[in-house]
Amino acid sequence: MDIFLQQLINGIVLGSIYSLVALGYTLVYGILGLINFAHGDIVMVGAMVTLTVVRLLSDSGLPGPLVLGIGMLTAIPACMAVGYLIERIAYRPLRNAPRLAPLITAIGVSILLQNLAMMIWGREYLSFPQILPTRTMAVGGASISAIQLLIVASSTIMMAGLSSLIRKTRLGNAMRATAQNPEVATLMGVNVNTIISITFVLGSALAAVAGMMVSAYYGIAHYDMGFILGLKAFTAAVLGGIGNIEGAMLGGLLLGIIESMGAGYLGTLTGGIMGSNYQDVFAFFVLILVLIFRPSGLLGERVGERP
Amino acid sequence: MKRYLKLAAYAALLLLLPFATGLALGKTWVRILDFALLYVMLALGLNIVVGFAGLLDLGYVAFFAVGAYCYALLASPHFGLHLPFWMILPIGAFSAGIFGMLLGAPTLRLRGDYLAIVTLGFGEIIRIFLNNLDTPYNITGGPQGIDLIDPVRLGPVSLNQPPGHAVYSYYFLFLLFALATAFVSTRLQHSRIGRAWAAIREDEIAAEAMGIDTRNLKLLAFAMGASFGGLSGGLFAGFEGFVSPESFTLTESIMILSMVVLGGMGHIRGVVFGALLLSILPEALRYVGPLEQSLFGKIVIDPSGLRMLLFGLSLILVMLLRPAGLWPSPARKRELLAHGETAKHENTNIYDAGR
């Protein structure tokens, strides 16, 4: 039972991170119908910037949470700028181009970001200074650490904020209108270009926070960490129904839980034949199953053949 | 007559190319040429799926892996089997085709990006299995892979003999296969099947209304593309003498897709050009380090990082300047040049690999 609870907690923590990253994919996809392959690398930039700031300040005697906060507040604008630039340079000129063209530029941007990061921060794994208390809380035989609580709490707050932003504000209205039909939205006085830029910037801010979380949680950062994380988060977005905000949150959470349960129980279930090294297979397998039975994801709307 | 002269000139060029390269740049570059030919085969195979039938496949390297492991298992001391290569290659191509159908069957109802992510997941699943199938029974050799694979043998002659000249003999073998692949592709494109694929790509519903069996034809596209991948996988295993899951990562799939799109998908010459360019460019960029050395007298920026940086940059630039690829088919070019709202609408939808 404690293993179950512990894996559930780990899964929720992992899932919260996936959700934040998945939101970035889903926001962009909802509006442009484009897989932003470079999104995972924006997460990496967020992690790297946070790490640099935290390392600089770790000897300053400031309290740990404050240092982490400063790091995050540096990473968010940095990532926003990167996201904005990517959209302007690599995606906007190709808006009426064949659909696979922006996919290739996205791949190009991803390669570019990774190698820039490698030049700036080197190819070694960088360790994240231990600045948060390592004390853990016991809950029914399982333990929760401070960073885990922080991750779940802050991602919940951010997702709630994003949700109400999109539902209640004028900006959210404009975003939804653009997602439904850019041309009609233009007629209604929405500046579609601005909305698309804002969408990228918002997604990048979430990615920055996710980057901070990942590197603080695992205590490590690396220039190609964004790739596999982005892949998982994209899977999560598709699982929930890509283009759907709630879907991304649910998909991320589910994927996190599925993965950690898989890692915890796969060995015992298969009599030791398949260990936790099959964790990733598990995630993709669930994805394929879901898509076969619900081709538009869990919460995705069933759209007509040609919208 | 003029046509024959041209053909003869091309033939002479292709035959002399490895020797000229070997003399001018050394054997490493002949090896790069060999790999470029392998990539040509892979890109042409993926072109069937993506370019002809309009199905976005991000896990194509899985079929390459199936072919390579087939060869490795059937012609190495790993299981003690030593079948001849002309027997294994069809087996590899056939198994890859089966895997293609396996992937295709459940995913046919999916469209566009959902299909992309499922194919991506499939590719990863294959790789993870290859990586882990060394316990409890050692089938794939795990992360270490399989080595000591038999070289390709024509009758009693091994292509690795005489030692040191393997790169040349494999060049001609690969050239033969690459030309055959290109030939089959061309014939396929203009056949009834190829035209049906084009119809599906442009508008699936209309194609279905015209009496095209879209389900079977899409399956066929997956299977054919996959078997091309399996074939080149077998050749790769024979050439390298060693396979491991390291060679079959997602990056490789993405690379092959970039070749197809960058060259001009659906257009065979364009795809061949894209494959040659993208397989040679990263190698050519290796000279960045020495160039820096001679320009500034020391290494200013890490050359391997700079090399991939330039590579990424060129991907972006090419796509920005030539969105339809470097060498699109003439029909495609006309479509892009056509003005007006209709044309704009078609451009966003034509190659959307199903929305």
Domain extents in chain B: 25-350
- In CATH, the number for domain B25-350 is 1.10.3470
Query: Which pTM value belongs to this model?
Result: 0.85
Mutate to test the interface with B, among A39, A99, A123, A228 (most CBs of B within 10 A): A99
B178 versus A281: which is more confidently predicted? B178
Judged against a pLDDT cut of 70, whether residue B112 lies above it is answered with no
Q: How many CA atoms does the CB half-sphere of A151 hold within 13 Å?
A: 29
H or E segment to which residue B158 belongs: strand B157-158
Residue B320 to residue A285, Cβ atoms within 8 A: no
* Distance (Å) of CA B305 to CA A119, B167, B246, B285, B289: 6, 28, 20, 11, 10
pLDDT at B225: 93
pLDDT at B124: 86
Mean local confidence (pLDDT), A214-229:
87
Residue A99 to residue B352, Cβ atoms within 8 A: yes
Judged against a pLDDT cut of 90, whether residue B292 lies above it is answered with no
Backbone φ and ψ for A145, nearest 5 degrees, come out as -100, 170
Q: Which of residues 176-205 of B touch A (CB under 8 A)?
A: 204-205
B111 vs A contacts (CB less than 8 Å): 295
A35 Cα to chain B: minimum distance (Å): 8
- Complex confidence, ipTM: 0.83
User: Which of A16-20, A138-142, B286-290 shows the highest mean pLDDT?
Assistant: A16-20
Label residue B91 by pLDDT band (50, 70, 90).
very high
Say yes or no: B309 contacts chain A, CB-CB below 8 A: yes
C-alpha–C-alpha distance, residues B124 and B159, integer Å: 33
The structure tokens 């990167």 sit at A82
Domain interval for residue A88 = 17-223
Chain A's closest residue to B113, CA to CA, is: A35
Residue B312 to residue A108, Cβ atoms within 8 A: yes
Judged against a pLDDT cut of 50, whether residue B353 lies above it is answered with no
CB-CB: which of B109, B116, B350 is closest to A295? B109
- Angle, helix B214-240 to helix B61-74, in steps of 10 degrees: 50
C-alpha–C-alpha distance, residues B255 and B104, integer Å: 21
Report how far Cα B54 is from the mean position of its chain's Cα atoms.
Answer: 16
Judged against a pLDDT cut of 90, whether residue B98 lies above it is answered with yes
- Angle, helix B250-263 to helix B61-74, in steps of 10 degrees: 120
Residue A112 to residue B120, Cβ atoms within 8 A: no
pLDDT at B344: 52
Label residue A281 by pLDDT band (50, 70, 90).
confident
Contact A288, B118 (CB under 8 A): yes
Q: In b/e form, how buried is each residue of A39-54, taking b as 16+ CB within 10 angstroms? A: bbbbbbbbbbbbbbbb
Q: How many domains does chain A have?
A: 1
Residue A99 to residue B348, Cβ atoms within 8 A: yes
Mean local confidence (pLDDT), A94-108:
82
Residue A101 to residue B319, Cβ atoms within 8 A: yes
C-alpha–C-alpha distance, residues B208 and A14, integer Å: 44
CB-CB: which of A107, A280, A281 is closest to B258? A107
Mean pLDDT lowest among B7-21, B111-125, B239-253:
B111-125
C-alpha–C-alpha distance, residues A297 and A167, integer Å: 21
Mean pLDDT lowest among A120-134, A182-196, B39-53, B297-311:
B297-311
3-state secondary structure of B57: coil
In a domain, A253, yes or no: no
DSSP notation for A17-35: HHHHHHHHHHHHHHHH---
In a domain, A274, yes or no: no
In a domain, A293, yes or no: no
In a domain, A72, yes or no: yes
In a domain, A242, yes or no: no
